[in-house]
Amino acid sequence: MRQIYFLLMIIGAAFPLYFFCLFLIENGFNSALFFEHLFANNISRFFAADVAISALVLIIFIIHQSRKLKMPSGYYALIGLAAGVSFALPLFLYLREGHIEKMSIRAEL
């Protein structure tokens, strides 16, 4: 699963950031225009709300799982939210799989 999460992490970063970079090339760092486009119509508001709520759920999930598994590296995934939910979720799952594997190896010894 780690390889799948790693692949999804790369895809989750590349695709959204590609479109964000296109916006930056076209418009520069124009935050007013960014938010104008983000909330331009009901369908874009739907996606913005969906991603915002997904990010909130992901933050809670990462914090809970990191504490439950005593996984300090899990908090790196919170930083991944800067690149987006589609990057941060597979990043956390990748880190969690590695942590669980290490815990299993230690338990076997």
pLDDT tens-place string over residues 63-86: 999 999 999 877 888 888 888 999
pLDDT tens track for 1-37 = 999 999 999 999 999 999 999 999 999 999 999 999 9
> How many structural domains compose the chain?
1
Residue ranges making up the domain that contains 78: 2-108
pTM: 0.87
User: CB pairs under 8 A, 24+ apart, for 80-87?
Assistant: 81/55, 83/12, 83/13, 83/16, 83/17, 84/12, 84/13, 84/16, 84/17, 84/51, 85/12, 85/51, 85/54, 85/55, 85/58, 86/11, 86/12, 86/13, 86/15, 86/16, 87/9, 87/12, 87/13, 87/16
Query: Which pLDDT score, from 0 to 100, does residue 109 have?
Result: 66
